[in-house]
Amino acid sequence: MGDVFYMELVSSNHTVDRTPITMTVEDILNIDHLNPDSFNKYISFTGTVIFTGNTWYPSYDLREDGYTISEYDLQMWADTYQPYLDMMAPLVGDKMTAEGYLIGFEYIYCEFDWILMYTEHVIIID
């Protein structure tokens, strides 16, 4: 037989404001990653879609204009796996503004190791 859990509802009927904070690589680098309030911000980030994975583990990042190395790419994750991969594959090389929750800091010895938990995007046509 399964476990029984009791949950106390402390709040309800609230609207979650998902107005993104526009951020750049420089903004993210200036985040105090030791402050717990730094995590799970809802942000927008603009860059070019880059394929960074391999055949066993496909992955997609956004690379901001002016950066040429992968160290400052913002990796994107999604709630779905295959539908997300199928959507992102044809967008490689396109410029987009993506929105989502900034999570991480995954690895203390890497200067830029944040992840965008993707929610939506807009393709930018120059």
Does a structural domain hold residue 95? yes
What percent of the chain is predicted at pLDDT more than 70?
Answer: 94
Rounded to whole angstroms, the Cα distance separating 17 from 76 reads 21
Find the CATH number of the domain harbouring 80: 2.40.50.140
The number of folded domains in the chain is: 1
The 10 Å Cβ neighbour count of residue 58 is 15
Give the dihedral of Cα atoms 119, 77, 72, 30; nearest 10 deg.
60
User: Does residue 108 carry a pLDDT above 90?
Assistant: no
Q: Which domain holds residue 97?
A: 21-124
Residue 54: HSE in the Cβ half-sphere, 13 Å Cα cutoff: 1
- Average pLDDT of span 111-124: 87
Q: What is the model's pTM?
A: 0.82
